[in-house]
């Protein structure tokens, strides 16, 4: 190999190398948390981190729910306090060899370590962690045990954590790399959710785009619907970002499975290395490298920026969502003021209810109310009514089908909030006084022969 070729290979993620790591892990057979094969998996990852040239490689044992686990932690250390965690998990579901979940993710993680270790000084310390016990539900006790143990062990050092980025379920040929900002239960406030903050999603999108491997948000086809959906329905899927978000840190995971294309061998004995594709691993690897490069230089943001909407690779944050929501109320109120009387009353009540829902759940509220509030005051026809109903219908349809596929188990909105949303939507469809909400037509003048 020429020195130049060697340098070029070092600078980018090698899909074949990631596939070799995933294959080596899957060849162990199913290796769930606490099993002897799982120890072999941890040892393999540690050996690969050392080979990649990382400074400090550590097997970090922990015990939770009377099960022994081992996280593998390796560091590229820089002088500052701040650090970024990049992660995957080496344990599997009880019956699955886990080539895809999460052998592919670990393969990419090792490749990232190799590429970044060969570069010079970095803006921030990067900690590579292969977690154990991500699938700890299989013991029937808790979730994401390894990442929870890691955060506990950090203690006060956790304050210097900028963000955690986990690579999940990657390397499927038919997959599409996307970020998965899923809302998880807030352990401190019943009924509330935590989700990846706006700044982190923005930084991850920008980083992957700069790396020439732009990530989508949630789903390659249904991204706009995915975003209100995860804030409306309780999604049952998660990654190790769950532990970080629930502990009050900024975190996010990426995968190339999504609602519209979900890996068919998920958690099955058939999750074997022949299902993986080196080009798909390389695609996710390039995107992940871009995300890490972005996270090591982006200014730190707050973990509490839950309300945002991503479109066209950009992220709109909460203040603009509220401005948009308030502006969408104006056409209806204007029509109400012109009509006066009961029509005005209806418009004011509708605006108050919409405003309340917008304040509590901006993204789902905008999703169901923006189109009817903008469109119906201007034109009431069968097609504007249909268009105005479509977003709400699509949201309900996605929720029902996701629930049928076992991805969803409940809703985030309280019953009274759903009632407010329903009434606000129904009132948006009520007339504006006069016929059909349109200025009455002037009767046509009778034709007077030719000419004018
Ligand atoms: Zn997984």
With contact defined as beta carbons under 8 Å apart, do 54 and 104 qualify? Answer: no
Structure tokens at 445: 């003048």
240 C-alpha to ligand 1 centroid (Å): 8
- Tell me the C-alpha distance between 189 and 206, whole Å: 32
83 C-alpha to ligand 1 centroid (Å): 23
356 C-alpha to ligand 1 centroid (Å): 37
180 C-alpha to ligand 1 centroid (Å): 12
Long-range CB pairs of 224-227, under 8 A, 24+ apart, other chains included: 224/311, 225/367, 225/394, 225/395, 225/398, 226/258, 226/259, 227/181, 227/309, 227/310, 227/363, 227/367
Read off the pTM: 0.92
So what's the pLDDT on residue 214? 96
- Segment 106-133 shows an average pLDDT of 96
With contact defined as beta carbons under 8 Å apart, do 433 and 339 qualify? Answer: yes
335 C-alpha to ligand 1 centroid (Å): 52
User: pLDDT, tens digit, for every residue of 66-76?
Assistant: 999 999 999 99
- Segment 305-310 shows an average pLDDT of 97
So what's the pLDDT on residue 434? 52
Q: What is the dihedral of CA 288, 290, 292, 297, to 10 degrees?
A: -170
Higher pLDDT, 437 or 112: 112
User: pLDDT, tens digit, for every residue of 40-87?
Assistant: 999 999 999 999 999 789 999 999 989 999 999 999 999 999 999 999
User: pLDDT, tens digit, for every residue of 309-329?
Assistant: 999 999 999 999 999 999 999
451 C-alpha to ligand 1 centroid (Å): 77
Structure tokens at 262: 């979900």
């Amino acid at each position: 190999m020429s020195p130049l070729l060697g340098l070029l290979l070092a600078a980018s993620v090698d899909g074949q190398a990631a596939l070799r790591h995933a294959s080596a892990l899957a060849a162990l057979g199913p290796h769930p948390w606490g099993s002897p094969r799982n120890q072999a998996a941890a040892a393999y990852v540690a050996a690969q981190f050392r080979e990649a040239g990382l400074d400090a490689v550590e097997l970090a044992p922990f015990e939770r729910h009377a099960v022994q686990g081992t996280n593998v932690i390796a560091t590229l250390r820089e002088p500052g306090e701040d650090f970024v965690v990049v992660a995957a998990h080496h344990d599997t579901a009880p019956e699955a060899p886990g080539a895809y979940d999460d052998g592919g993710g670990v393969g990419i993680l090792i490749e990232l370590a190799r590429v970044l270790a060969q570069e010079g000084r970095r803006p921030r310390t990067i900690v590579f962690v292969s977690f154990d016990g991500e699938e700890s539900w299989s013991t029937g006790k808790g979730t994401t045990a390894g990442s929870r143990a890691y955060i506990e062990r950090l203690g006060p050092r956790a304050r210097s954590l900028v963000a955690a980025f986990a690579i999940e379920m990657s390397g499927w040929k038919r997959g599409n790399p996307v970020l998965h900002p899923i809302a998880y239960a807030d352990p401190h406030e019943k009924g509330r959710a935590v989700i990846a903050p706006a700044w982190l999603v923005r930084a991850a999108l920008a980083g992957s785009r700069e790396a020439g491997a732009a990530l989508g948000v949630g789903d390659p086809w249904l991204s706009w619907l995915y975003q209100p959906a995860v804030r409306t329905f309780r999604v049952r899927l998660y990654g190790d970002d769950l532990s970080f978000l629930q502990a009050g840190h900024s975190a996010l995971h990426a995968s190339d499975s999504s609602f519209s294309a979900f890996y068919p061998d998920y958690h099955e004995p058939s999750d074997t290395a022949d299902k993986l594709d080196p080009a798909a691993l390389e695609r996710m690897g390039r995107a992940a490298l871009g995300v890490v490069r972005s996270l090591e230089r982006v200014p730190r943001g707050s973990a509490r920026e839950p309300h945002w909407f991503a479109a066209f690779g950009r992220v709109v944050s909460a203040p603009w969502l509220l401005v948009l929501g308030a502006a969408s109320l104006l056409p209806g109120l204007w029509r109400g003021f012109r009509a006066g009387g009961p029509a005005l009353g209806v418009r004011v009540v509708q605006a108050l209810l919409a405003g309340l829902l917008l304040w509590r759940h901006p993204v789902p509220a905008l999703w169901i109310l923006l189109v009817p509030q903008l469109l119906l005051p201007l034109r009431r026809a069968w097609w504007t009514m249909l268009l105005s109903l479509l977003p709400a219908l699509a949201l309900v349809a996605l929720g029902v089908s996701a629930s049928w596929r076992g991805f969803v188990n409940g809703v985030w909105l309280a019953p009274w909030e759903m009632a407010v949303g329903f009434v606000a939507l129904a009132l948006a469809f009520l007339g504006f006084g006069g016929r059909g909400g349109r200025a009455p037509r002037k009767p046509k003048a009778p034709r007077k022969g030719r000419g004018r």
